[in-house]
Amino acid sequence: MARRELMSNVDRAWLRMEAPSNLMMVTALLTTKEKLRYEDVLDLLKERLMIFDRFRQRVVNRGIIFEDTYWEDVPFFDPADHIILAAIPNEDPRAELQTLVGELMSTPLDYDKPLWHITMVEDVRQGTGLIIRLHHCIADGNALVRVLLSMMTTDKAILKPGRKTKKEERPTFLDPVVDVALNVWVAAETMVKLSYRLLKKPSKVFDWAKMTIDGGFSLGRLVLRWPDPKTLLKQDLQNKKLASWSFEIPLERVKEIRRGAGATVNDVVVTAAAGALGRYLKNRGEDISEMNIRAAIPVDIRRATDPFAMGNKFGLVFLSLPVGMEDIRERLTEQKRRMDELKNTPEAFVSFMVLNTMGAAPREIENLVLDVIGSKTSLVLTNVPGPSIPLYLGGCEVDNILFWVPQAGRVGLGISVISYNNKVRIGVATDANIIPDPSKIVDDFERELDAMHALFASPEAAPSP
């Protein structure tokens, strides 16, 4: 009989959020500068990904009156069943990849198998693309990205799986430099400075949890907030996703804005996102004067001592974005004030406890809570600072790393920002009925950064056009 393990309530909550219009998958795209060999990718999966039980287990439900959900080992598991080869025309690989990513975001995973899949695109210019889909019930986005990065090293010479190494090359599960980079990443500031505090002092979470009055206030604020305004972002969803992403943005350019404005990188990113959404809504006829919309922002509450633990160890904070504030200075000041206000609340931990309760409750109750929370937000927004050094996969330098977070309930827009090798990219995932042209938001985000750079960066610091 196959070994089974009871699924946690939080992971079960994310499993049951799956709907045809919002599949609960974290999607990543890696591209390499040289062509990857299928055999090398398969060997890497066997050596480095298969040590995590969740990638060899499927989800099963057992019980007649009271149904429980389990992780169950798959007999005779073969990772080759989870990777397929694909090809795209090379005339415009970026556009072709965007179309393919959107199609895969709209395609459910096979529930008879472990809930992950890789599409290997063999010819992306001179390299290869890997579109990786992982179900949210396996783990949260931060843990899944860390797992993917663990397949890489900083040394091309020791990347080939199965290759005999010289004595001095010290082959390890995780390349030491990547290990350091990931530990720095775990301790780095994330979307709201609150997550910095949680990662540096995880015990703070439990201190806050004891603050019954503050926790009750945060729960009340979460439930009793006014719904978000009825913009074009709050329409019915289709079963079709679209994906887009930006060209490379030098991280130093963002830091020049940060220094000139006396803010954080997160302040700059969130302010640019708010401005981009304001531009997009205004250009499509929305009256954005004094408009605010909320973004659900994941906050990692995982203990820094166990960064590779599977499962969902994060809460959500709900940040109000002043999209109607067109003056950039005023918007940045106000956005920073709102973000700072969230630092001293236990909202992330309270939302984590709500998710835990949802997973234990009947599905109908979970759907009701999801509808209530979903009515109070218009998008999911996340920012992941990745390694600042180039990484290698299967002997090939990784050119780009992109990812998209899933949306739940009636939310049809996700914006993900990731930095890698001192470059920043923004990824946008949308429901086709809400935003049929996600590239417009990407373009508006880049315009906002340009405007902020012209306003805040000194002439000496500004790069040549």
Q: Is residue 31 within a helix (H) or strand (E), and if so which, with residue range? A: strand 25-32
- CATH 3.30.559.10 for domain 4-187, yes or no, is yes
Q: pTM for the full model?
A: 0.84
**CATH 3.30.559.30 domain locations along the chain:** 193-386+411-456
**CATH 3.30.559.10 domain locations along the chain:** 4-187
pLDDT more than 70, % of the chain: 82
**Greater model confidence, 422 or 187:** 422
Q: Quick check: 4 and 53 in contact, CB under 8 A?
A: no
Range name among 189-193, 301-305, 399-403 with the lowest pLDDT average? 189-193
- pLDDT for 5-17, tens place per residue? 999 999 999 999 9
Closest CA to 109 of 100, 118, 101: 118
Closest CA to 115 of 60, 67, 76, 63: 60
With a cut of 70, say whether residue 169 has pLDDT above it: no
CATH architecture of 193-386+411-456: 2-Layer Sandwich (3.30)
Mean of the per-residue pLDDT values of the chain: 81
Q: Are strands 293-300 and 379-385 parallel, antiparallel or unpaired?
A: parallel
Determine how many CB atoms are found less than 10 A away from the CB of residue 204.
16
- pLDDT for 271-322, tens place per residue? 999 999 999 999 999 999 999 999 999 888 776 656 567 788 888 889 999 9
Closest CA to 232 of 86, 412, 63, 397: 412
